[in-house]
Amino acid sequence: MNVIPEFKTEILLALLGIALLLNCGGSKPSKFYLLTAIPKESEKNKAISEIQGLDIGIGPIKFPEYLNRPQIVAYKTTHELEMGEFDRWAEPLNENFMRVLSENLSLLLSSARIFTYPWKMANLFDYQIPLEVIHFELQANGKVHLFARWSLLEGEHPKLLVRRKSTIQVPVDPASYQSIVAGMSQAVDSLSKEMAVAVQEIAKQR
Protein backbone atom coordinates (compact mmCIF):
# COMPACT_ATOMS: atom_id res chain seq x y z
CA MET A 1 0.00 0.00 0.00
CA ASN A 2 2.98 2.36 0.63
CA VAL A 3 4.77 1.66 -2.63
CA ILE A 4 2.87 4.09 -4.82
CA PRO A 5 3.24 7.19 -2.56
CA GLU A 6 6.97 6.50 -2.14
CA PHE A 7 7.33 6.11 -5.89
CA LYS A 8 5.55 9.41 -6.47
CA THR A 9 7.82 11.12 -3.94
CA GLU A 10 10.91 9.83 -5.73
CA ILE A 11 9.60 11.10 -9.05
CA LEU A 12 8.86 14.54 -7.59
CA LEU A 13 12.34 14.79 -6.07
CA ALA A 14 13.94 13.75 -9.36
CA LEU A 15 11.93 16.35 -11.29
CA LEU A 16 12.87 19.02 -8.74
CA GLY A 17 16.55 18.13 -9.11
CA ILE A 18 16.34 18.36 -12.90
CA ALA A 19 14.61 21.74 -12.67
CA LEU A 20 17.33 23.08 -10.37
CA LEU A 21 20.05 21.85 -12.71
CA LEU A 22 18.38 23.44 -15.72
CA ASN A 23 17.95 26.69 -13.85
CA CYS A 24 21.60 26.78 -12.80
CA GLY A 25 22.78 25.88 -16.26
CA GLY A 26 20.76 28.68 -17.80
CA SER A 27 22.01 31.51 -15.56
CA LYS A 28 24.00 34.28 -17.21
CA PRO A 29 27.74 34.22 -16.38
CA SER A 30 29.17 37.36 -14.80
CA LYS A 31 31.79 39.46 -16.60
CA PHE A 32 34.53 41.32 -14.75
CA TYR A 33 36.23 44.56 -15.76
CA LEU A 34 39.18 46.76 -14.75
CA LEU A 35 40.18 50.32 -15.52
CA THR A 36 43.46 50.39 -17.43
CA ALA A 37 46.38 52.81 -17.34
CA ILE A 38 47.76 54.88 -20.21
CA PRO A 39 49.50 52.66 -22.79
CA LYS A 40 53.22 53.30 -22.36
CA GLU A 41 53.97 52.67 -26.01
CA SER A 42 51.55 55.37 -27.20
CA GLU A 43 53.41 58.32 -28.75
CA LYS A 44 50.86 60.86 -27.47
CA ASN A 45 51.28 59.66 -23.89
CA LYS A 46 54.97 60.42 -23.44
CA ALA A 47 56.09 62.21 -20.30
CA ILE A 48 55.06 65.85 -20.23
CA SER A 49 57.34 66.88 -17.38
CA GLU A 50 60.85 68.22 -17.80
CA ILE A 51 61.46 67.84 -14.06
CA GLN A 52 62.23 64.31 -12.90
CA GLY A 53 62.72 62.60 -9.56
CA LEU A 54 59.76 64.10 -7.71
CA ASP A 55 58.19 62.25 -4.77
CA ILE A 56 54.41 62.48 -5.08
CA GLY A 57 51.72 61.19 -2.74
CA ILE A 58 48.28 60.42 -4.19
CA GLY A 59 45.36 60.54 -1.78
CA PRO A 60 43.47 60.30 0.41
CA ILE A 61 40.74 59.65 -2.15
CA LYS A 62 37.04 59.85 -1.37
CA PHE A 63 34.39 58.04 -3.43
CA PRO A 64 30.59 58.35 -3.17
CA GLU A 65 29.00 55.38 -1.41
CA TYR A 66 26.74 54.46 -4.34
CA LEU A 67 29.87 53.59 -6.37
CA ASN A 68 31.38 51.43 -3.62
CA ARG A 69 29.85 48.17 -4.86
CA PRO A 70 30.89 45.30 -7.16
CA GLN A 71 28.34 46.17 -9.87
CA ILE A 72 29.07 48.76 -12.55
CA VAL A 73 26.73 51.70 -11.98
CA ALA A 74 25.03 53.74 -14.69
CA TYR A 75 22.27 56.33 -14.83
CA LYS A 76 19.21 54.90 -16.60
CA THR A 77 17.41 58.24 -16.40
CA THR A 78 18.26 61.56 -14.76
CA HIS A 79 17.27 60.21 -11.34
CA GLU A 80 17.32 56.42 -11.71
CA LEU A 81 20.43 54.27 -11.33
CA GLU A 82 20.97 50.89 -12.99
CA MET A 83 23.31 48.22 -11.60
CA GLY A 84 25.10 45.81 -13.95
CA GLU A 85 24.17 42.64 -12.06
CA PHE A 86 26.31 40.47 -14.34
CA ASP A 87 28.86 43.19 -15.24
CA ARG A 88 31.13 43.80 -12.27
CA TRP A 89 34.43 45.30 -11.16
CA ALA A 90 37.23 42.80 -10.64
CA GLU A 91 38.45 44.85 -7.65
CA PRO A 92 36.97 47.73 -5.63
CA LEU A 93 36.55 50.71 -7.96
CA ASN A 94 38.24 53.21 -5.62
CA GLU A 95 41.35 50.98 -5.38
CA ASN A 96 41.42 50.40 -9.14
CA PHE A 97 41.03 54.15 -9.73
CA MET A 98 43.88 54.98 -7.33
CA ARG A 99 46.22 52.42 -8.89
CA VAL A 100 45.55 53.55 -12.46
CA LEU A 101 45.91 57.22 -11.52
CA SER A 102 49.29 56.54 -9.89
CA GLU A 103 50.50 54.52 -12.90
CA ASN A 104 49.46 57.33 -15.24
CA LEU A 105 51.20 60.01 -13.18
CA SER A 106 54.34 57.90 -12.92
CA LEU A 107 54.49 57.79 -16.73
CA LEU A 108 53.51 61.41 -17.34
CA LEU A 109 55.90 62.81 -14.72
CA SER A 110 58.78 60.40 -15.41
CA SER A 111 58.74 59.38 -11.77
CA ALA A 112 58.80 55.94 -10.19
CA ARG A 113 58.30 57.51 -6.77
CA ILE A 114 54.51 57.75 -6.67
CA PHE A 115 52.99 56.76 -3.31
CA THR A 116 49.33 55.97 -2.67
CA TYR A 117 47.38 56.51 0.54
CA PRO A 118 47.60 55.06 3.18
CA TRP A 119 51.31 55.82 3.27
CA LYS A 120 53.86 53.14 4.08
CA MET A 121 56.45 55.78 4.91
CA ALA A 122 56.66 59.19 6.57
CA ASN A 123 54.71 61.88 4.77
CA LEU A 124 57.77 63.51 3.17
CA PHE A 125 56.69 64.17 -0.41
CA ASP A 126 57.51 67.01 -2.73
CA TYR A 127 53.80 67.18 -3.57
CA GLN A 128 50.59 65.54 -2.42
CA ILE A 129 47.33 65.26 -4.40
CA PRO A 130 44.23 64.50 -2.31
CA LEU A 131 40.98 64.20 -4.26
CA GLU A 132 37.25 63.65 -3.98
CA VAL A 133 35.36 61.91 -6.79
CA ILE A 134 31.82 63.30 -7.03
CA HIS A 135 30.66 61.45 -10.16
CA PHE A 136 32.22 58.59 -12.09
CA GLU A 137 29.69 56.64 -14.14
CA LEU A 138 27.73 56.46 -17.39
CA GLN A 139 25.18 59.25 -17.60
CA ALA A 140 21.75 58.99 -19.24
CA ASN A 141 23.11 61.05 -22.18
CA GLY A 142 25.41 58.19 -23.23
CA LYS A 143 28.61 59.77 -21.90
CA VAL A 144 30.91 58.70 -19.11
CA HIS A 145 31.06 61.55 -16.61
CA LEU A 146 33.98 62.08 -14.23
CA PHE A 147 33.70 65.03 -11.87
CA ALA A 148 36.38 65.37 -9.21
CA ARG A 149 37.71 67.99 -6.81
CA TRP A 150 41.44 67.81 -6.13
CA SER A 151 44.26 69.82 -4.63
CA LEU A 152 48.01 70.08 -5.00
CA LEU A 153 49.84 70.41 -1.68
CA GLU A 154 53.52 70.98 -0.95
CA GLY A 155 55.87 70.13 1.88
CA GLU A 156 55.98 68.20 5.15
CA HIS A 157 53.36 70.55 6.63
CA PRO A 158 51.20 70.67 3.49
CA LYS A 159 50.80 74.07 1.92
CA LEU A 160 47.93 74.48 -0.54
CA LEU A 161 49.25 75.38 -3.99
CA VAL A 162 46.37 74.52 -6.32
CA ARG A 163 42.69 73.71 -5.91
CA ARG A 164 40.84 72.47 -8.99
CA LYS A 165 37.57 70.98 -10.23
CA SER A 166 37.82 68.61 -13.18
CA THR A 167 34.79 67.80 -15.32
CA ILE A 168 35.41 65.19 -18.01
CA GLN A 169 32.91 63.59 -20.38
CA VAL A 170 33.66 60.76 -22.81
CA PRO A 171 31.12 59.51 -25.42
CA VAL A 172 30.70 55.71 -25.33
CA ASP A 173 28.39 52.98 -26.58
CA PRO A 174 25.89 52.77 -23.68
CA ALA A 175 24.88 49.24 -24.71
CA SER A 176 28.45 47.91 -24.24
CA TYR A 177 30.03 47.63 -20.80
CA GLN A 178 33.39 47.14 -22.51
CA SER A 179 32.94 50.52 -24.19
CA ILE A 180 31.77 52.10 -20.91
CA VAL A 181 34.83 50.87 -18.98
CA ALA A 182 37.15 51.94 -21.81
CA GLY A 183 35.58 55.41 -21.63
CA MET A 184 36.06 55.48 -17.87
CA SER A 185 39.74 54.61 -18.33
CA GLN A 186 40.00 57.45 -20.85
CA ALA A 187 38.43 59.82 -18.31
CA VAL A 188 41.04 58.86 -15.69
CA ASP A 189 43.68 59.40 -18.40
CA SER A 190 42.42 62.97 -18.92
CA LEU A 191 42.31 63.67 -15.18
CA SER A 192 45.88 62.35 -14.83
CA LYS A 193 47.07 64.75 -17.52
CA GLU A 194 45.39 67.73 -15.83
CA MET A 195 47.17 66.84 -12.59
CA ALA A 196 50.52 66.25 -14.30
CA VAL A 197 50.34 69.64 -16.02
CA ALA A 198 49.62 71.33 -12.67
CA VAL A 199 52.61 69.59 -11.03
CA GLN A 200 54.84 70.54 -13.98
CA GLU A 201 53.81 74.20 -13.85
CA ILE A 202 54.33 74.48 -10.09
CA ALA A 203 57.63 72.55 -10.07
CA LYS A 204 59.10 74.83 -12.74
CA GLN A 205 58.46 77.83 -10.51
CA ARG A 206 60.28 76.29 -7.56
Q: What is the pLDDT of residue 48?
A: 60
- Which class in CATH covers the domain with range 31-205? alpha beta
Q: What is the pLDDT of residue 119?
A: 85
Task: Give CB contacts under 8 A, 24+ apart, made by 68-76.
Answer: 68/92, 68/93, 68/94, 72/33, 72/177, 72/180, 72/181, 73/137, 73/138, 74/137, 74/138, 74/139, 74/174, 74/180, 75/137, 75/138, 75/139, 75/140, 76/140
The DSSP bridge pattern shows strands 31-33 and 56-62 to be unpaired
Collect the ranges in the chain with pLDDT lower than 50: 1-3, 21-22, 43
